[in-house]
Amino acid sequence: MVDFLLVHVDGPRPPRYPCPMMRRLPALALALTLSVLFTAGYGCTPKPGPALTPEQAREEKQDSMAAGYLQTAMQDMHDGRFLAPEEAETPLTKAAELDPELTDAFLYRAVARIQQEKWAGAELDLDRVIELDPDMPRAFYLRGFARLRQNKDTAALQDLTRCIELDDTRVDAYVQRGFLHNRAGQHQKAIDDFTQAIGMAPGRFDSYYQRGLANEALGRHYQAAQDFSNAIGADPSSSRAFAQRGKSYLRLNVFGRAIQDLRQAAQMDPGAPEYLEMLARAYAGREDYASALKAIRRALALARARNITDRVDIMERLNAEYTARFLHPEPLIP
């Protein structure tokens, strides 16, 4: 199957002959060919083939109708996505019912369902696609993605690996498999996949961001900060990239840079108490306990308002610690 390739539909140009005699050659050749055919008895009207049985005629009509429904749905697709996936699903369902062998009907219905986050239905469609065409990389990628979104990590990993085996140029397959490796705690495997993806598509935010998370998990804070910097370059509006780079600087004890990044993240997403908590830690690292107290108290108020109970206890301890240090600073040692 061809994935949305633009093909040149004009036919070849007619040949140009250098002289009148050469221009006559095709006509002479045609006349000679027809003469031979008629002499051999091929000039008679061909006999009609055997008539279709009622069952064959019915199947042919169904196949034609299925192709029509598929064509109707595909008119709504642009750049690999349906503009109205819920509307496209209806003719695709009719096409699949009329012709259970029409691979594209199941494939594109899966695409429409993925756009609607109907993961289980998409997975069933892709099961059928792979049954009909067991060597289609795109089908394995899409099924792996649908399974990933259902937390079927082992099956998703198998599908994405099979996709890469069939086509090792699919960047998305490396990115999604790397995400699964990260989630499984296999951070070096994740780094390998994201590095492969970056080599093929250097400007992708998710490749740098996810590799940064993997490096951070392995304690490679400097490499993580570099990855998050590249992620910010790809998407300067990402508050989480600023927050993660600030976290890496915090662990490197580069408190000034950490404060800059975490303040930026908190301004971009003022409803995230975790950013304010990290900002408070960065201020405390510089022994600016007045600023640390302001940040941790804002974080604590947000966490309570959002009922984030797993962080409230930690923030309360930090608030008590910073209050004590602010009220009773340690004497300077001469």
Beta-strand runs (E) in the chain: 77-78, 81-82
Same fold, 64-168 and 259-334: yes
Dist CA 166 CA 158 (whole Å)? 12
Task: Give the pLDDT confidence of 98-123 residue by residue, as tens digits.
Answer: 999 999 999 999 999 999 999 999 99
**What is the model's pTM?**
0.79
The Cα 234–Cα 236 span in angstroms is 6
pLDDT in tens, 58-89: 778 888 899 999 999 999 999 999 999 999 99
Domain boundaries, the chain: 64-168, 259-334
Q: Are 92 and 99 in contact (CB under 8 A)?
A: no
Model pLDDT, residue 114: 98
Q: pLDDT tens for residues 198-255?
A: 999 999 999 999 999 999 999 999 999 999 999 999 999 999 999 999 999 999 999 9
Is domain 64-168 given the CATH code 1.20.140.10 in the classification? no
The DSSP string of 25-38 is HHHHHHHHHHHHHH
Residue 45: pLDDT above 80?
Answer: no
251 vs 74, 115, 171, 202, CA distance in Å?
51, 39, 31, 27
CATH topology for 259-334? 1.25.40
For residue 149, the model assigns a pLDDT of 98
Q: Considering only CA atoms, which of 126, 102, 96 is closest in space to residue 113?
A: 126
Residue 81: what are its φ and ψ, rounded to 5°? -135, 150
State the DSSP H helix or E strand holding residue 252, giving kind and residue range, or none if neither. none
Own/partner pairs for 329-333, CB < 8 Å, 24+ apart?
A: 329/289
Residue type, 60: E
Q: Quote the pLDDT of residue 49.
A: 60
Q: Which amino acid is at 221?
A: H
